[in-house]
Structure 1
Amino acid sequence: MIESASLIVTGMKCGGCESNVTTKLKTLDGVKSATASSKNQEVNVEFDAKKTSLKAIAQAITDVGYAVIDNTH
């Protein structure tokens, strides 16, 4: 099942940051697409929920040096 999510991500300052995030996310099995906006401090991702999770996606973003704000509340 394909799901989509928008995550608030802090620390992205430029196109290079956006590229770092999207490149990392696209290496995750199950991620269909990912776009990042440093201007909006946002990452939009479409993923197969049977292959990966929001937790894994958030961890991948953290692994490349950015902070994911928990916006599930």
Structure 2
Amino acid sequence: MTESVELTVTGMKCGGCETNVKAKLNSIDGVLSVEASSKEKKVSVEFEESKTDLEAIKTAIAEAGFTVE
């Protein structure tokens, strides 16, 4: 089963930041798609619940150097 979440993420300032977040999240097994917008301070993630969870996604964003509100 897939789940979609939209998170408010602060610290992204440019396209490079968006690319960094996308790369980090896409490296997680079970993540199907990622959209990131520094302008809107939003990250949308679609993932397979059987392979990963929201906490792993939040941790990956933090490891990339950004804050999940």
Q: TM-score range by the shorter chain?
A: over 0.9
Counterpart of 1:20 in structure 2 is 20
Counterpart of 1:42 in structure 2 is 42
**Secondary structure of residue in 1 paired with 2:28:** coil
Q: CA deviation at 1:59?
A: 0.2
TM-score (norm. length: structure 2): 0.99
Quote the sequence identity (%).
57
The Cα RMSD (Å) is: 0.3
Query: Which structure 1 residue ranges, 5 or more long, are not aligned?
Result: none
**Secondary structure of residue in 1 paired with 2:9:** strand
Deviations 1:14-70 (A, max 9, x none): 00000000010000000000010000000000000110000000000000100001x
**Secondary structure of residue in 1 paired with 2:19:** helix
- Structure 1 stretches of 4+ with a deviation exceeding 3 A read none
Partner Cα separation in structure 1 for residue 36 and residue 59 of structure 2: 15
Count, aligned residues? 69
- Kindly provide the amino acid, as one letter, of the partner of residue 7 in structure 1: L
Partner Cα separation in structure 2 for residue 67 and residue 10 of structure 1: 5
